[in-house]
Structure 1
Amino acid sequence: MKHFIIIFLAVLIIPFKLIGQKDLQNKIEVYIKLAEENYSKENYDQAMINLDSASALDPDNGEIYRIRGMIYYEQSESRRAINEFNNAIRFDPGNPETYFYRSLVRFEVGDHRNYSLNDINMAIELQPDNAIYYIEKANYLTSTTYPVPEYNLAIQTISQAISIDPENAHYYAIRAKYNSDSDQLLASLSDYSKSIEMDPSIAEYYNKRGIIYLRIEDYLKAIEDFNSAIQIDPLNENYIISRGQARFNMTEYETAILDFTLSIDTIYRKISEVPGQINLDHPLNKALRRSYFLRGSALLQSESTFEACQDFEAAANLGESRATSYKRRYCR
Structure 2
Amino acid sequence: MDTTRSFFNSIIEKIKGNGTTPSERGVEYFRSGEYHKAIKEFGKAINLNPKDANAYKNRGTANLNQGNYQQAINDFTDAINLNPEFAEAYHGRGVANEKMGKKQLAINDFNKTVEINPKHRNAFFHRGQVYYTLRNYPLAIKDNDKVIELDPNVADAYFGRGVINAEMGNDKDAIKDLNKALELNPRHTSANDLRNSILSKEAALAEKARLEAKIASTTHLMGITKQSEGKRKRQGISREVKNIVWRRDEGRCVECGSNQHLEYDHIIPHSKGGSDTDRNIQLLCMKCNRAKHAKI
| TM bucket normalised to smaller | 0.5 to 0.7
Cα distance in structure 1, aligned partners of 2:172 and 2:16: 57
| AA matched with 2:22 | Y
| AA matched with 2:70 | N
Secondary structure in 1 aligned to 2:41? helix
Give the length in aligned residue pairs.
198
Structure number, greater radius of gyration: 2
Quote the offset at 1:202 in angstroms. 2.8
Cα distance in structure 2, aligned partners of 1:170 and 1:116: 18
Quote the offset at 1:213 in angstroms. 0.9
Structure 1 pair 225/118, CA: closer, same or farther in 2 (3 Å)? Answer: closer
Structure 1 pair 194/302, CA: closer, same or farther in 2 (3 Å)? Answer: same
Aligned residue in 1 for 2:223? none
| AA matched with 1:128 | P
Quote the offset at 1:304 in angstroms. 4.6
Quote the offset at 1:107 in angstroms. 5.4
Structure 1 pair 109/190, CA: closer, same or farther in 2 (3 Å)? Answer: closer
Residue 232 of structure 2 corresponds to residue 298 of structure 1: no
| AA matched with 2:68 | E
Kindly report which structure 2 residues correspond to 1:178-327, keeping only aligned pairs within 5 A, or say none: 178-264=96-182, 266-267=183-184, 284-287=185-188, 289-304=189-204
Residue 53 of structure 2 corresponds to residue 123 of structure 1: no
Say whether the 8 Å CA contact 1:299–1:305 is kept in structure 2: no
| AA matched with 2:162 | G
Quote the offset at 1:151 in angstroms. 0.9
Quote the offset at 1:247 in angstroms. 0.8
User: Taking every aligned residue pair, what percent have the same amino acid on both sides?
Assistant: 24
Unaligned 5+ segments in structure 2 are 1-9, 208-296
Unaligned 5+ segments in structure 1 are 1-75, 86-96, 268-283, 308-332
Kindly report which structure 2 residues correspond to 1:105-120, keeping only aligned pairs within 5 A, or say none: 105-106=28-29, 113=36, 115-120=37-42
Kindly report which structure 2 residues correspond to 1:76-87, keeping only aligned pairs within 5 A, or say none: 78-82=12-16, 84=18
Say whether the 8 Å CA contact 2:60–2:92 is kept in structure 1: no
| AA matched with 1:142 | L
Residue 142 of structure 2 corresponds to residue 142 of structure 1: no
Cα distance in structure 2, aligned partners of 1:111 and 1:219: 37
Cα distance in structure 2, aligned partners of 1:110 and 1:261: 32
Cα distance in structure 2, aligned partners of 1:207 and 1:286: 20
Instruction: Identify the match of residue 88 of structure 2 among 163, 170, 186.
Output: 170
TM-score by length of 1: 0.53
Secondary structure in 1 aligned to 2:186? helix
TM-score by length of 2: 0.59
Quote the offset at 1:232 in angstroms. 2.2
Give the CA RMSD over aligned residues.
2.8
Aligned residue in 2 for 1:324? none
| AA matched with 1:192 | F
